[in-house]
Amino acid sequence: MKVIVPVKRVIDYNVKVRVKPDQTGVDLANVKMSMNPFDEISVEEAVRMKEAGTATEVVIVSIGPQQAQETIRTALAMGGDRGILIKTDETVEPLAVAKLLAKVVEEEKPDLVLLGKQAIDDDSNQTGQMLAALLDWPQATFAYKLEKDGDALTVTREVDGGLQTLKLATPAIVTVDLRLNEPRYASLPNIMKAKKKPIDEKAPGDYGVDIAPRLSVVKVTEPPVREAGEKVEDVATLVSKLKAAGAI
Amino acid sequence: MAVLVIAEHDNASLNDATHKVVTAAAKFGGDVDVLVAGEGAGDVAAAAGKISGVRKVLHADGASVAKQVAEAMEALIVPLMDGYDAVFIPATTMGKNIGPRIAAKLDVMQLSDITDVIDTDTFERPIYAGNAILTVKSSDAKKVITVRGTAFDAAGEDGSASVEAVDAPAGPFKSEFVSEQMVKSDRPELAGAKRVVSGGRALGSKEEFDRLIVPLADKLEAAVGASRAAVDAGYAPNDYQVGQTGKIVAPELYVAVGISGAIQHLAGMKDSKIIVAINKDEEAPIFQVADYGLVADLFNAVPELTEAL
Ligand SMILES: Cc1cc2nc3c(=O)[nH]c(=O)nc-3n(C[C@H](O)[C@H](O)[C@H](O)COP(=O)(O)OP(=O)(O)OC[C@H]3O[C@@H](n4cnc5c(N)ncnc54)[C@H](O)[C@@H]3O)c2cc1C
Ligand SMILES: Cc1cc2nc3c(=O)[nH]c(=O)nc-3n(C[C@H](O)[C@H](O)[C@H](O)COP(=O)(O)OP(=O)(O)OC[C@H]3O[C@@H](n4cnc5c(N)ncnc54)[C@H](O)[C@@H]3O)c2cc1C
């Protein structure tokens, strides 16, 4: 089967963001950017499917600024075959991302689109589900285990209370959760090889999709800061403090 | 104006997350109806009718919605939206799964995981693992919203709304439910618990996790949580994970044992009323948010604490 993996360039998960003093957003200048960690997991899964002979081709797609090309290269170094960069400097909301991806799907005709369950910057957790709706495809979010079963996919999902297993007809949308796999690091030879892999450059206009945002930022503020409390000497002191505070 | 709230339940009982979403919906304004979609969930529908401020309960009963699979829920909810200005959904795995699907069908942007309703267009939601709070305004005519339960009090139960049957969608659908493995426990549910005891990587094994964390939680009548590291290592089930990409909790008391306090973990518990941290490293970031920090080896401190309670 052919697999499309959309990857997003986000602020690195180790960076603690700072809200801009003018409350218009967060400061992204000179901040380390990386591939959304969930997308590393979906790239890894697609590459493993290819290595196992269940996937024939892995196409990496990113929507974002020119630098998103680096994110695509990283995915190609992990084992993706080719890339598509839909270049824009605008803010692209999940609905618009999903609409663009739906157009890519129309052209590429994959059997599976593997996305992250959420991007760790905006934490929307929407894009995959929206894409499934736009295409009228079945979906399995928060995948914990993914198996090909003839023409169908059996997907076990992380849900509140435990695990749930669904069977999906293909083509289908799957979004990945943390425990699906442990992504590899790209080796140096593979990083070199990835430089030669093709990346198609497109613009949102090429797909005739209206990406105008539906949401506008009123302000971005700091959350209330929590002050560090006190260190207690021993268990007995802890218990008496908790009793005094009415916590136990 | 009218708002549709999607009930969270397991066909047997109504989850408290629903009551919290009703509070958020009431703040939005207008009539609040609750949709109970399930199979044999008559008791749940009756319970939903008792939530204060609810106008009526819509009850869809059928096999297609028994497990609230996304495609069937879309087929049920999208047509109902003709009669509503907004749909409010709990930000549980059920809600996160179906909300965006409904939004895309209605051609609107979902507002995810809101923590406040400012007016009918403007909402607050945390971004960047809770390190920034976004006030966001939507220009869409209909609103699709998932609600963070910890941000709203549960609505009361002095209502007496009528229950009205609606048809469950017929199907067939391209996805089907195969099976589920649910963790059975008599403990309070993590997301709504008044007290939570969480264990981290430092526990070292499932055996030690069960030997140390579980009795402490029993003594405190607390739910059990875990860091991602502890879950990844198999010390605790997946749905015990507290954090940015797991469950968000805000109990009266949160006890973090052998957890360093990574931003992703803090994002899931820093709104707890009282935080206790037990960690042998006095520099551990968890101490920066803890009301009471005990620098100690957990293998000594936890049994002692359990004993002392
Ligand atoms: C205050 C604020 C200011 C912002 N400013 C900007 C800005 O100036 N420029 C900007 O670009 N963004 C900006 N954003 C971010 C932008 O709004 C989000 O990228 C967008 O809403 C997508 O949400 P998400 O990534 O959380 O989606 P999710 O639904 O959480 O993403 C899930 C998955 O969808 C896929 N996906 C999502 N986005 C893409 C993509 N672009 N390409 C390929 N795959 C993708 C990935 O597989 C990802 O794992 C801003 C956000 C906020 C809150
Ligand atoms: C995309 C992404 C999403 C993530 N989402 C989450 C999430 O939702 N939730 C989450 O928790 N994490 C999440 N993480 C992981 C997070 O970054 C941390 O790696 C994780 O929280 C660490 O778990 P820990 O504190 O148990 O382990 P560690 O960081 O290894 O900390 C162990 C602590 O135990 C202490 N210790 C060791 N031995 C003892 C002893 N004998 N007695 C007392 N203390 C001891 C150490 O001093 C240390 O502070 C995510 C990461 C990524 C990349």
Q: Which domain, by its residues, includes B65?
A: 2-166
Domain assignment of residue B22, yes or no: yes
**Cα distances (Å, whole numbers) of residue A77 to A61, A114, A126, A197:** 14, 18, 27, 9
Please give the residue that has the higher pLDDT: either A28 or A166: A166
Q: Is the bond into B79 cis (omega within 30 degrees of 0)? A: no
Same domain, B207 and B143: no
Domain assignment of residue B106, yes or no: yes
Closest atom, ligand 1, to C-alpha of A220: 1
Residue A124: the pLDDT is 84
Q: Is the pLDDT of residue B287 over 90?
A: yes
Tell me the pLDDT tens digit for each residue of A41-73.
999 999 999 999 999 999 999 999 999 999 999
Q: Which domain, by its residues, includes A68?
A: 2-244
| CATH number for the domain that contains residue A154 | 3.40.50.620
Same domain, B65 and B116: yes
Instruction: Please return the burial class of A188, using the count of CB atoms within 10 Å of its CB with bins 0-12, 13-18 and 19+.
Output: exposed
Ligand that lies nearest to the alpha carbon of residue A15, given by its number in the listed order: 2
How would you classify residue A185: left for phi > 0, otherwise alpha for psi between -120 and 50, otherwise beta?
beta
Give the residue-averaged pLDDT of B69-97: 98
For chain A, the domain total comes to 1
User: From the CA of B180, how far away is ligand 2's center (Å)?
Assistant: 28
With residues binned 3-state (H G I as helix, E B as strand, rest as coil), the percentages for chain A, rounded to 5, are 30, 30, 40
Q: Is the pLDDT of residue B186 over 90?
A: no
Q: Which residues of A touch B138 (CB under 8 A)?
A: 214-215
Nearest residue on chain A to B298, alpha-carbon basis: A235
| CATH number for the domain that contains residue B90 | 3.40.50.620
Chain-centre distance of CA A72, in angstroms? 13
Same domain, B55 and B153: yes
Residue B212: the pLDDT is 98
For chain B, the domain total comes to 2
List of residues 6+ apart from B59 with CB closer than 8 A: B35, B36, B41, B42, B45, B163, B164, B165, B166
C-beta of B198 in contact with ligand 2 (< 6 A): no
Closest atom, ligand 2, to C-alpha of B284: 49
Q: Is the pLDDT of residue B185 over 90?
A: no
Q: What is the mean pLDDT of chain A?
A: 96
Residue with tokens 């009361």: B156
User: From the CA of B35, how far away is ligand 2's center (Å)?
Assistant: 39
CB atoms within 10 A of CB B205: 11
Same domain, B157 and B197: no
Residue A196: the pLDDT is 97
Same domain, B157 and B215: no
State whether A231 and B304 contact (CB < 8 Å).
no
B211 assigned to a ligand binding site: no
CA distance A132 to chain B (A): 7
**Spatial separation of the C-alpha atoms in residues A223 and A29, rounded to whole Å:** 21
Give the residue-averaged pLDDT of B220-232: 98
Residue B171: the pLDDT is 87
Instruction: Please return the burial class of A66, using the count of CB atoms within 10 Å of its CB with bins 0-12, 13-18 and 19+.
Output: exposed
Residue with tokens 């206790």: B276
Name the phi and psi angles at B125, rounded to 5.
-150, 145
Residue B184: the pLDDT is 83
Same domain, B199 and B155: no
Residue with tokens 């959760």: A177
**Spatial separation of the C-alpha atoms in residues A137 and B175, rounded to whole Å:** 9
C-beta of A67 in contact with ligand 1 (< 6 A): no
Same domain, B134 and B23: yes
Please give the residue that has the higher pLDDT: either B129 or A130: A130
Residue A95: the pLDDT is 97
Residue B148: the pLDDT is 97
Give the residue-averaged pLDDT of A90-108: 97
Q: Is B191 helix (H, G, I), strand (E, B) or coil?
A: helix
Give the residue-averaged pLDDT of B232-253: 96
Nearest residue on chain A to B277, alpha-carbon basis: A231
**Spatial separation of the C-alpha atoms in residues A30 and A45, rounded to whole Å:** 31
Q: What is the ipTM of this complex?
A: 0.94
Same domain, B236 and B298: yes
State whether B228 and A178 contact (CB < 8 Å).
yes
Same domain, B135 and B8: yes
Residue B110: strand pairing partners: B144
Give the residue-averaged pLDDT of A86-96: 96
Same domain, B123 and B204: no
Q: Is the pTM of this model over 0.80?
A: yes
Same domain, B218 and B275: yes
Q: pLDDT-based confidence at A122, cuts 50/70/90?
A: confident
Tokens of A206: 């090429």
Q: Is the pLDDT of residue B153 over 90?
A: yes
Same domain, B22 and B155: yes
